[in-house]
A and B are shown apart, each in its own frame.
Chain A
Amino acid sequence: MVAVIQTPRSYRSRYLWLDRERGRFLVHRSAYTSPEIFEEERRRILHRSWIVLGHESEVREKGDFVVRQVVDRELIFNRDADGRVNAFFNTCRHRGAAICREPRGNRKSFVCPYHGWAYRSSGQLFNQHATYGYGERFNEDGFYDLQPVPRIAARAGFYFVNFDAAAVALDDYLADAGPMLDAIAEQSGVGMEVVRGCHEYEIKANYKLICENSYDGYHLDLTHSSFVDYMRTMVKGIPVSEMNIRGIAKSLGNGHACFELEIPTGRPVAQWLPVWGEQARVEIEAKRLELERRLGAAKAGRIAVTNRNMVIFPNSIINDQQTVLLRTVTPTAHNRMIIRAWSLGPVDEGPVLRRIRNEGALSFLGPGGFATPDDVEMLELCQKGFESSDVEWNDISKGYRPDENTLRDTDEHFDNELQMRAYWYRWNEIMSAPELRA
């Protein structure tokens, strides 16, 4: 049982301390440092939330598969011979060996390297590499077929899994984050695809720190001042008066949130920069017209020029900027995580814009870029600060209003901290609930 104290002036649980009179929103640092709390999070949140697995374009053809980690589970994400998309636990039903050892490929069947149990792409066991020893009824009920994850569902081409069979439907879970995903899919009339190449890197910090960082507008001009200097050289040809950054922060329900920015730093869909050259200008203008014809001027305008960073609670991140970057966060301990990030673009994008997309993606967002390494550094400095001091509370108060509806609200300043409070409000709600749902 976690004691919760609620008065008109303040709210206090083991994890959150809201002092409404002083305008303070505090998070207890044990939420980032305690192995016991991390275990509790695994049970209450990570194993019961919808978490992004991948994109439909990664399993486009029958037999296509990728092996992917979601929280502490390793899954085979595939399209079977009947065209169905599946996610199976990557373990043989016989004695447990991980059956699929390649990271990706195309296979009609998966054969365990240990004793030779063989499964169709649908997961069905069809051969045990044994002429005797098993009766005819051994697998009549499919008991030994590859075990699928309890739930898999898609929205706008993004596949999500949930390890809780009783979880709410994906669309209900996503709440207002769902239409945000739709708007990404609408960047192309023929679908989006994952570009080859994954950015995979470890950060020695609690996984929630990268979630906070991904839609933190407050740190941009300071942490990334050296990137801003670089951008100034990239946007030459754009009047300084147009460089004003305008943006808002929104909570999207169920702990999801985003910020939206209008900043003329260029988007292959569909905002041109002079440094990209004439051919790119022609293609981007055509793209913009295509968007307007398909979606209408207002929606096309929003999709074309709005940058959006979104965290789908608890650990799926989509940054829609120079590219659409899908980031999955795999916590491996209370103070360690592995990030895997993929860039997405329209299937029908030509080579000029694809090159611009790739270079935009890696110049800011990658582990070899001009910004992400400094974020990694900051997150590791935060973890170090937590673990090497007796200071108990982290402050997330910027823009905090006592009447704020943290689960559904908008802040006209994208560089306030509403986004993070939306996350923590939901996190605290689940972690402070008296008992786990059976």
Chain B
Amino acid sequence: MSAALLLRLTVEDFLYREAALLDAWKLKEWLGLFAPDARYEVAPTGDAEAGTLSSAESLFLIADDRERLEQRVIRLLKPQAHAEYPHSRVRHIYSNVRILADTGAQLEVNANFVTFRTKRGVTATYMGWHRYLLNRQDQGLLIALKRTILDLDGLVPQGKVSMLL
């Protein structure tokens, strides 16, 4: 088996595990996949250049540093996070995983996704692509950046990004 194929399978295994933790709402374990200085971002909808925008200059949907990501997880596990109480059912489908760059210490990875969310009899579909920067550690991979670019003009009819994409 070629080294490139083995690396892609390693990355896919990692991403599928990430998706499985989100599907199961195991958010504290999910947070454990992130580096101490990681960022989690969802770019604005309805902008053809969303993939190149910076959250410092533009209004994103989510632009969390590690601290706010931890607060997001704490909040989402409380019954007072009303939009997600009881938790919606979510299913994260990842595909078209491509390794775009490998510096040795860090991998740049793109993956297409579809995430389904069902709450009170209504199913919403979110689609787009994730851009990951993955740090290579002795014990495996850690997420330094997960940036989500939605292929949506707006959150119509989804209404919100109350869970994690």
Q: Do the beta carbons of B55 and A358 come within 8 Å of each other?
A: yes
Q: Give the chain B neighbours of A225 by CB distance below 8 A.
A: 80
For chain B, give the interface size range: 35 or more
Any chain A CB within 8 A of the CB of B58?
Answer: yes
Q: Give the chain B neighbours of A358 by CB distance below 8 A.
A: 55-60, 63
Q: Do the beta carbons of A196 and B156 come within 8 Å of each other?
A: no
Closest A residue to B71 by CB, please name it: A230
Q: Give the chain A neighbours of B75 by CB distance below 8 A.
A: 226-227, 229-230, 370
Any chain B CB within 8 A of the CB of A351?
Answer: yes
Partner of A351, one of B42, B56, B74: B56
Q: Give the chain B neighbours of A11 by CB distance below 8 A.
A: none
Any chain B CB within 8 A of the CB of A314?
Answer: no
Taking the closest CB of chain B, its distance from the CB of A278, in whole angstroms, is 18
Q: Do the beta carbons of B61 and A368 come within 8 Å of each other?
A: yes
Given contacts A196-B53, A354-B57, contact A376 B160 (CB under 8 A): yes
Q: Give the chain A neighbours of B62 by CB distance below 8 A.
A: 362, 366, 368
Q: Do the beta carbons of B158 and A201 come within 8 Å of each other?
A: yes
Partner of B46, one of A200, A373, A374: A200
Any chain A CB within 8 A of the CB of B37?
Answer: no
For chain A, give the interface size range: 35 or more
The interface bits of chain A over 179-202 (1 if a CB of B lies within 8 angstroms of the residue's CB, else 0) are 000000000000000011111111
Say what secondary structure dominates the interface of chain A: helix
Any chain B CB within 8 A of the CB of A340?
Answer: yes
Closest A residue to B47 by CB, please name it: A197
5 contacts between A and B (CB under 8 A): A103-B46, A202-B154, A202-B157, A338-B154, A373-B83
Could you tell me which A residues sit within 8 Å of B by CB distance?
103, 195-204, 223, 225-227, 229-230, 233, 338, 340, 342-343, 351, 354-355, 358-359, 361-363, 366-368, 370, 372-374, 376-378, 380, 384
Could you tell me which B residues sit within 8 Å of A by CB distance?
42, 44-47, 53, 55-63, 68, 71-72, 74-75, 78, 80-84, 120, 122, 153-162
Apart from the given pairs A198-B44, A230-B75, A358-B63, 20 other A-B contacts in the complex at a CB distance below 8 Å: A196-B44, A198-B59, A199-B59, A204-B157, A343-B59, A351-B56, A355-B55, A359-B63, A362-B61, A362-B63, A368-B42, A368-B62, A370-B75, A373-B83, A373-B161, A373-B162, A374-B82, A376-B160, A376-B162, A380-B120
